[in-house]
Amino acid sequence: MNNKKKILLTGATGYIGKRLLPILVEQGYHVICCVRDVKRFSPPSSLQDSISIIKVDLLEPESLQDIPKDIEGAYYLVHSMSSSDDYKKLELECAINFRNAIEKTNVRHVIYLSGIVNEENLSKHLSSRKDVEIALSKASYHFTTLRAGIIIGSGSASFEIIRDIVEKLPIMITPKWLNTRCQPIGITDVLAFLSKSLFREETYNQNFDIGGSDVLTYKEMLLEFGRKRNLKRYIYTIPVMTPRLSSYWLYFVTSTSYKLATALVNSMKVEVVCRDNKLSEILDIQPLSYRQALDKAFVKIQSNQIASSWKDSLISGTMDIEISDFIEVPRFGCFIDKRSKTYTNREKTIDKIWRIGGKTGWYYATWLWKIRGYIDKLFGGVGLRRGRTNEDTLIAGDSVDFWRVLYSNKEEGRLLLFAEMKLPGEAWLEFKIEGEELKQTATFRPLGLSGRLYWYSVLPFHGFIFKGMLAKLTA
């Protein structure tokens, strides 16, 4: 460890960070992983000897004091485009705090992943990215910005939104921004650009656009996705759909949250095409075409090897929670539905629990769960469309439909979920093996009178939904 260069990785629990981490370790670096919530970070055991984990909140400058002084490189992969209405101000504050802290270290090179910002009139989201870039560049270290547009890969927000739209709608009446041009890039190419740029002097103090080999409109991307899936699709664009209506359209059709849908719609009205392919030549990278990027994504999906998904990030939900704050299930002032049943096979029962939700469903009266998900979507919640990233693996921080995994331990036989649907209160669902029994506990902490009325209104359904689910899990 002492002979390895230390690299700071912010956003280590994010879509890009999770995938970049093993590449940096393979290149021989010791990686300092910055996370806001340690309990959400579950790196593979194979990486443990080559990483260190520190708790950092970029909005709290004092937490940045834990950054080691002997780091030599750093990646800034932090974005919060839908976690707050005031995200533009917060993103800039985070960048300034990071810059001030990192300048007190031995860092030589900082790399920032941004968006393509070549147009004069930028969306709020892209304008924020540019402000962050400017703030980070005002320092003594060497600085490189990689600007990417739509990222295509298993679990990426762009890929999953395209997939939702194409696989659900044979005929689409769409907003006119579908005719905007963009230059999508495969996730493997993004990771190659990020990892190969580190400590390359030719990249110092510059910004580069990175994209795939195709320039397409969003409409062409949807149609090409349909051809890849052997689905014939008809798309008609109309000029009368306002940004608000476009956001609602994207929100109800796909698994995205409304805030994220709004940010995406505003960004999709801006053309994101690379100025040149200069960095490809410097690093000798031949980017994939859009079709090739789709092919690689589906290989991962079909083999159930999705390394990370945007759906597991907190921006996919409606609450910005820290798992540590909710992992201890309260009892005082709560309504509790507790049931237990003897199981026939421990291993089989645990396997069923760890496959719950997503394509598997909820084992009993799944149609009622779907209705609840639809109602949640109507009231601005996440609904059931997030599903789950992997079919048989769950780690803390993962999303499971409208739940968030707080604790997952297969050997112990305990899985704890926290509700992210719209509720007049807070809810937990726990499965725990004790002796020869499976204990299933639903806990609800009501908020005011509306919370109590909600509990009693759904109480009649609990009797057969939870009883039926427990019976199926233990059979």
Among 252, 282, 311, the domain-final residue is 311
- The verdict on 237 and 362 lying in the same domain is no
Please give the model's pTM, rounded to 2 decimal places. 0.77
User: Residue 85: its pLDDT value, please?
Assistant: 63
- pLDDT over 80 at 300, yes or no: no
CA–CA separation, 15 vs 310, rounded Å? Answer: 6
Q: pLDDT tens for residues 109-128? A: 999 999 898 887 877 778 88
Same domain, 221 and 363: no
Helix and strand totals (H; E) in the chain: 13, 19
Q: Are residues 307 and 327 in the same domain?
A: no
Tokens of 7: 């690299």
1, part of any domain: no
Span 142-162, pLDDT tens digits = 999 999 988 998 878 788 888
Model confidence at 310, in pLDDT bands (50, 70, 90)?
Answer: low
- Residue 159 and residue 259 share a domain: yes
Average pLDDT, the chain: 86
Domain boundary among 270, 291, 311: 311
Quick one: 284 and 394 in the same domain?
no
pLDDT in tens, 318-355: 555 555 556 678 888 899 999 999 999 999 999 999 99
pLDDT at residue 1, as a whole number: 45
Token pair listed for 6: 């230390």
The total domain count for the chain is 2
**Range scoring the smallest mean pLDDT among 1-15, 25-39, 353-367, 413-427:** 1-15
Q: Judge if 352 and 443 occupy the same domain.
A: yes
Taking each helix axis as running N to C, give the angle between helix 157-168 and helix 218-228, from 0 to 180 degrees, rounded to the nearest 10. Answer: 70
Are residues 252 and 382 located together in one domain of the fold? Answer: no
Q: Pairing between strand 425-434 and 414-419?
A: antiparallel
Residue 246 and residue 196 share a domain: yes
The mean per-residue pLDDT over the stretch 131-148 comes to 94
Average pLDDT (248-258) is 74
* 181 in a structural domain: yes
What is the pLDDT, as a whole number, of residue 321? Answer: 55
Same domain as 44, residue 78? yes
Task: Please indicate, yes or no, if residue 126 is contained in any of the structural domains.
Answer: yes
Q: CB 275: neighbour CB atoms within 10 A?
A: 12
Co-location of 305 and 406 in the same domain: no
Three-state SS for 103? Answer: coil
DSSP-assigned beta bridge partners for residue 210: 148
CATH of residue 343's domain is 3.30.530.20
**The two three-digit tokens of residue 77, written as one number:** 């992969």
The pLDDT tens digits of the residues spanning 216-251 come to: 999 999 999 999 888 899 988 888 777 777 777 777
Q: Which of 291, 311, 331 is the last residue before a domain boundary? A: 311
* Domain span including residue 417: 317-474
Shared-domain flag, residues 337 and 269: no
- Shared domain check, 67 and 127: yes
Amino acid found at 124: K
